[in-house]
Protein backbone atom coordinates (compact mmCIF):
# COMPACT_ATOMS: atom_id res chain seq x y z
CA UNK A 1 0.00 0.00 0.00
CA UNK A 2 1.50 3.30 -1.11
CA UNK A 3 1.90 5.95 1.58
CA UNK A 4 2.27 9.62 0.71
CA UNK A 5 3.65 11.89 3.43
CA UNK A 6 3.19 15.62 2.99
CA UNK A 7 5.62 18.12 4.45
CA UNK A 8 3.05 19.06 7.11
CA UNK A 9 2.92 15.43 8.30
CA UNK A 10 -0.39 14.50 6.64
CA UNK A 11 -0.46 10.91 5.36
CA UNK A 12 -2.47 9.57 2.42
CA UNK A 13 -2.89 5.86 1.72
CA UNK A 14 -5.74 5.97 -0.80
CA UNK A 15 -4.28 5.61 -4.30
CA UNK A 16 -6.75 8.12 -5.76
CA UNK A 17 -5.86 10.72 -3.12
CA UNK A 18 -2.16 10.10 -3.71
CA UNK A 19 -2.63 10.49 -7.47
CA UNK A 20 -4.51 13.76 -6.87
CA UNK A 21 -1.70 15.14 -4.66
CA UNK A 22 0.92 14.19 -7.26
CA UNK A 23 -1.14 15.35 -10.27
CA UNK A 24 0.70 18.71 -10.57
CA UNK A 25 3.87 16.72 -11.32
CA UNK A 26 2.06 14.39 -13.76
CA UNK A 27 3.34 11.37 -11.81
CA UNK A 28 1.51 8.16 -12.62
CA UNK A 29 0.99 5.58 -9.89
CA UNK A 30 -0.92 2.31 -10.24
CA UNK A 31 -1.30 -1.09 -8.66
CA UNK A 32 -0.20 -3.96 -10.88
CA UNK A 33 -0.71 -7.47 -9.61
CA UNK A 34 2.24 -9.85 -9.57
CA UNK A 35 1.23 -13.15 -11.16
CA UNK A 36 0.13 -15.85 -8.75
CA UNK A 37 2.90 -18.13 -9.92
CA UNK A 38 4.60 -20.29 -7.23
CA UNK A 39 7.97 -20.28 -9.05
CA UNK A 40 7.89 -16.48 -9.37
CA UNK A 41 6.93 -16.04 -5.72
CA UNK A 42 9.80 -18.35 -4.70
CA UNK A 43 12.26 -16.17 -6.62
CA UNK A 44 10.88 -12.96 -5.13
CA UNK A 45 11.67 -14.01 -1.55
CA UNK A 46 15.35 -14.63 -2.36
CA UNK A 47 17.80 -11.82 -1.63
CA UNK A 48 20.01 -12.39 -4.68
CA UNK A 49 19.11 -13.52 -8.17
CA UNK A 50 21.42 -14.58 -10.98
CA UNK A 51 20.85 -13.33 -14.52
CA UNK A 52 18.77 -16.37 -15.50
CA UNK A 53 16.54 -15.95 -12.44
CA UNK A 54 16.14 -12.22 -13.15
CA UNK A 55 15.03 -13.01 -16.69
CA UNK A 56 12.57 -15.57 -15.33
CA UNK A 57 11.09 -12.92 -13.01
CA UNK A 58 10.90 -10.39 -15.86
CA UNK A 59 9.09 -12.88 -18.10
CA UNK A 60 6.65 -13.53 -15.25
CA UNK A 61 5.54 -9.87 -15.29
CA UNK A 62 6.07 -9.08 -19.00
CA UNK A 63 2.35 -8.54 -19.59
CA UNK A 64 2.95 -4.99 -18.33
CA UNK A 65 6.04 -4.52 -20.52
CA UNK A 66 4.00 -5.54 -23.55
CA UNK A 67 1.37 -2.94 -22.64
CA UNK A 68 4.02 -0.22 -22.21
CA UNK A 69 5.63 -1.11 -25.54
CA UNK A 70 2.27 -0.71 -27.27
CA UNK A 71 1.02 2.40 -25.48
CA UNK A 72 4.18 4.39 -24.70
CA UNK A 73 6.97 3.09 -26.92
CA UNK A 74 9.07 1.42 -24.23
CA UNK A 75 11.88 -0.67 -25.70
CA UNK A 76 13.72 -2.36 -22.83
CA UNK A 77 13.38 -3.46 -19.22
CA UNK A 78 15.64 -4.82 -16.52
CA UNK A 79 15.38 -5.91 -12.91
CA UNK A 80 17.17 -4.13 -10.08
CA UNK A 81 17.73 -6.26 -6.99
CA UNK A 82 18.97 -4.45 -3.87
CA UNK A 83 19.42 -6.01 -0.43
CA UNK A 84 21.61 -5.55 2.67
CA UNK A 85 24.18 -8.11 1.48
CA UNK A 86 25.27 -6.03 -1.51
CA UNK A 87 28.81 -4.69 -0.97
CA UNK A 88 29.00 -0.88 -0.90
CA UNK A 89 25.21 -0.48 -0.91
CA UNK A 90 25.57 2.88 0.89
CA UNK A 91 27.78 4.26 -1.86
CA UNK A 92 25.54 2.85 -4.58
CA UNK A 93 22.43 4.48 -3.09
CA UNK A 94 24.07 7.82 -2.17
CA UNK A 95 23.80 9.22 -5.69
CA UNK A 96 20.01 8.79 -5.63
CA UNK A 97 19.54 10.32 -2.16
CA UNK A 98 20.12 13.88 -3.41
CA UNK A 99 17.53 15.92 -5.29
CA UNK A 100 18.02 15.39 -9.00
CA UNK A 101 16.24 15.18 -12.34
CA UNK A 102 16.63 12.98 -15.42
CA UNK A 103 16.27 13.77 -19.11
CA UNK A 104 13.92 10.77 -19.48
CA UNK A 105 11.05 9.40 -17.43
CA UNK A 106 11.96 7.19 -14.46
CA UNK A 107 9.62 4.22 -14.54
CA UNK A 108 9.54 1.52 -11.86
CA UNK A 109 7.37 -1.46 -11.03
CA UNK A 110 8.09 -2.61 -7.47
CA UNK A 111 7.62 -6.36 -7.23
CA UNK A 112 9.26 -6.95 -3.84
CA UNK A 113 10.47 -4.79 -0.97
CA UNK A 114 9.94 -1.06 -0.83
CA UNK A 115 11.53 2.30 -1.37
CA UNK A 116 10.78 5.99 -0.93
CA UNK A 117 10.58 8.56 -3.70
CA UNK A 118 10.66 12.18 -2.62
CA UNK A 119 9.37 15.01 -4.81
CA UNK A 120 9.45 18.79 -4.92
CA UNK A 121 5.98 20.13 -5.79
CA UNK A 122 5.39 23.27 -7.87
CA UNK A 123 4.63 25.28 -4.69
CA UNK A 124 8.13 24.29 -3.42
CA UNK A 125 6.72 21.93 -0.77
CA UNK A 126 8.12 18.42 -0.56
CA UNK A 127 6.43 15.03 -0.26
CA UNK A 128 7.65 11.47 0.13
CA UNK A 129 5.96 8.43 -1.39
CA UNK A 130 6.64 4.97 -0.04
CA UNK A 131 6.17 2.48 -2.88
CA UNK A 132 5.63 -1.17 -2.07
CA UNK A 133 5.08 -4.47 -3.92
CA UNK A 134 2.69 -4.36 -6.87
CA UNK A 135 3.05 -0.60 -7.30
CA UNK A 136 4.01 1.05 -10.58
CA UNK A 137 5.31 4.61 -10.74
CA UNK A 138 6.25 6.84 -13.65
CA UNK A 139 8.20 9.98 -12.71
CA UNK A 140 8.23 12.32 -15.72
CA UNK A 141 11.50 13.67 -17.13
CA UNK A 142 12.62 16.88 -15.43
CA UNK A 143 10.82 16.13 -12.13
CA UNK A 144 12.89 17.02 -9.06
CA UNK A 145 13.06 13.87 -6.96
CA UNK A 146 15.21 11.62 -4.80
CA UNK A 147 15.07 7.97 -3.78
CA UNK A 148 16.18 5.86 -0.83
CA UNK A 149 15.47 2.47 0.66
CA UNK A 150 13.30 2.00 3.73
CA UNK A 151 14.62 0.29 6.86
CA UNK A 152 14.03 -3.17 5.34
CA UNK A 153 16.81 -2.28 2.87
CA UNK A 154 15.53 -4.38 0.01
CA UNK A 155 13.74 -3.85 -3.26
CA UNK A 156 13.20 -5.68 -6.50
CA UNK A 157 12.08 -3.24 -9.16
CA UNK A 158 11.51 -3.60 -12.87
CA UNK A 159 12.83 -0.56 -14.73
CA UNK A 160 11.32 0.32 -18.11
CA UNK A 161 13.18 2.34 -20.74
CA UNK A 162 12.42 4.08 -24.00
CA UNK A 163 16.17 4.78 -24.06
CA UNK A 164 18.88 4.50 -21.41
CA UNK A 165 20.64 7.70 -22.41
CA UNK A 166 18.65 10.07 -20.17
CA UNK A 167 19.43 8.33 -16.91
CA UNK A 168 22.32 10.42 -15.69
CA UNK A 169 21.23 12.24 -12.51
CA UNK A 170 21.33 16.01 -12.87
CA UNK A 171 21.64 17.36 -9.32
CA UNK A 172 19.70 20.52 -8.52
CA UNK A 173 21.50 21.47 -5.29
CA UNK A 174 18.17 21.84 -3.50
CA UNK A 175 18.07 20.53 0.08
CA UNK A 176 15.68 17.85 1.30
CA UNK A 177 13.45 19.16 4.09
CA UNK A 178 11.16 16.18 4.61
CA UNK A 179 12.17 12.79 5.99
CA UNK A 180 15.67 11.50 6.27
CA UNK A 181 17.27 8.96 3.96
CA UNK A 182 17.93 5.71 5.76
CA UNK A 183 21.63 4.88 5.74
CA UNK A 184 22.10 1.31 4.63
CA UNK A 185 24.63 -1.02 6.15
Binding site feature residues: 100, 102, 106, 145
3-class SS of residue 177: coil
Q: How far apart are CA 154 and CA 113, in angstroms?
A: 5
Residue ranges for the known binding site for Fe(2+) are 100, 102, 106, 145
For residue 184, how far is the Cα from the chain centroid?
Answer: 17
Alpha-carbon Rg for the chain, nearest whole angstrom, is 16
Residue ranges for the known binding site for Ni(2+) are 100, 102, 106, 145
Q: How far is CA 179 from CA 48, 86, 119, in A?
A: 28, 24, 11
Amino acid sequence: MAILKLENGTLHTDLNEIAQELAPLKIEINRWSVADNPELKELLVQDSLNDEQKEQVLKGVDIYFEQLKQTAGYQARDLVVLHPGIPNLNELMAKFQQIHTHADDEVRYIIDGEGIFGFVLPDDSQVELTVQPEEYINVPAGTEHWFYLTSIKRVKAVRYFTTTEGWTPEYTGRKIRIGQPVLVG
